[in-house]
Amino acid sequence: MKIGIILTPDARSKTYLQKLIQNKIHLNEVVFMNDNRPKPNYLEDIIQKSKEFGFDISKPILKSLQQSQIKFKEFPFVDINHPELISYLARSNSEIFIFTGGGILQNEVLNCGPKFVHLHPGIVPNYRGSTCFYYSIINEDKCGVTAYFMDEKLDTGDIIYQRSFEKPNHQYIDEVYDPFIRSETLIDVLKNKRIESNEFKKQDPHGETYYIIHPVLKHISILNCIKE
Amino acid sequence: MTTYPYSSENLLEKPQKYQMSPFEGRDFLFSYLNSRKKTIHILEKNKKNSYDEILDQFKRSSDVNFESFSESVILEKFLSFLIYNILEINRKKETNEYIDLLLKKFEIKKILYSTYNSEFKRITDDFTNLHNYTLLTLIFQIKYKQTKALKYLNVILKLNDILCSQHSNLNYFDAELTYHLLNHEIDFVSELCHQKGIEFL
């Protein structure tokens, strides 16, 4: 099966790419949506923590691609619903694209040819929506990732694979823990050919959708991780 | 000293997005508590009725049904009706669906319009009726007490940020209710911290 990946200039894409390279997983195609946004200045603590978890958050995507001599198609915008991208994807011979970003895909891109796989940091249907790993850590002292086929709604597509993770013992959840658990699940999915297996599970339409966590709850979640 | 910045601006004019909020350690929870206590202190002079006495007013208040809102939804009237319903033992089955619809509406826009059509699309530009914000917070607090579902505590914190940012514009009734809403919110946060073994009060 021909599988490609659509990268965006953020920590998640950096992590996915670095983990793919480390695991010598070669994809059919790499698309990089790059709006040349300013490079974030990560604290040294965060960079060190990312290295402990097997990636370097400070390493730009272009550098990883060039060092590994990976061919890629670059677009000067970050918008999965952009007509120029849709036109490109429609002509692609990849059957599946891993999409590192989030949000809702409009019908034009969903129906352009390939299917799209997303890695969501929550065990659906109980944890759909935004920042739900923080809620999961408060409720269950753990978190999970769901690999699923994207459809027209938010986090409702057919499930490819789900994996649970213990809560982290550090505070860098957005920067390190989130990309770490998603990238570990991605490698698991690809190495074990879980997309090719064709054993997908329909989601229960009921469930819970979460919205961006309030800072007070976010602090309770993180303090719950780092308490002695 | 960490400050609590999430209720200091006019959140109706400039809604708070809460995206990628920084982690500032345990001190942040103390700054949140201090900020809420300051507003509670200001509103305390309005307190005449207890929380239960205010709830009793809603139990006596309604003789409408959901069909009454089939053409348009005046939010203030609808919220009072929802409160009446969730306080009733034989509540109507649609009540929870409407409460979660309003949660979604608020979480996306961070404001509440005064009037919606029957499909809950707004039919006015007015979002300044603070009574709607206090009533909806009360609904979510009743739901949180019943379910302990974090989605309700999350939206309570955001609605109370707005009420704190607007405290000088609250009328007498809403100021009194907000006094109780803020105290209850602190109790919820304190209880959750206690459950998770996190120092708070």
Tell me, what amino acid is at B13? E
Asked if B154's CB is within 8 angstroms of A210's CB, the reply is yes
Query: Helix axis angle, B172-195 relative to B130-147, nearest 10°?
Result: 30
Q: Which domain holds residue A125?
A: 3-226
| pLDDT tens digit sequence for A107-161 | 999 999 999 999 999 999 999 998 999 999 999 999 999 999 998 888 889 999 9
Instruction: Tell me the chain B residues in contact with residue A210 when contact means C-beta distances shorter than 8 Å.
Output: 150-151, 154
Q: How many CB atoms are located within 10 Å of the residue A1 CB?
A: 10
Query: Helix axis angle, B172-195 relative to B150-165, nearest 10°?
Result: 140
Instruction: Tell me the chain B residues in contact with residue A179 when contact means C-beta distances shorter than 8 Å.
Output: none
Residue A108 sits in a domain whose CATH number is 3.40.50.170
Backbone angles phi, psi at A145, to 5 degrees: -130, 140
**Could you tell me the pTM of the whole model?**
0.94
Structure tokens at B142: 């009743």
Residue B62 has a pLDDT of: 61
- HSE-up (13 A, CA, CB side) for residue A62: 8
| pLDDT tens digit sequence for B143-192 | 999 999 999 999 999 999 999 999 999 999 999 999 999 999 999 999 99
- CA quadruple A70, A76, A79, A84: dihedral positive or negative? negative
In angstroms, the separation between the Cα of residue B65 and the nearest Cα of chain A is 26
The Cα B70–Cα A23 span in angstroms is 58
Backbone angles phi, psi at A70, to 5 degrees: -95, 125
Specify whether the CB–CB gap between B159 and B106 falls below 8 A.
Answer: yes
Number of domains observed in the structure of chain A? 1
Q: For residue B185, give the chain A residue with the closest CA.
A: A216
Prediction ipTM score: 0.95
Q: Which of A164, A182, A180 is nearest to A172 (CA)?
A: A180
Q: For residue A135, give the chain B residue with the closest CA.
A: B150
The Cα A8–Cα A118 span in angstroms is 13
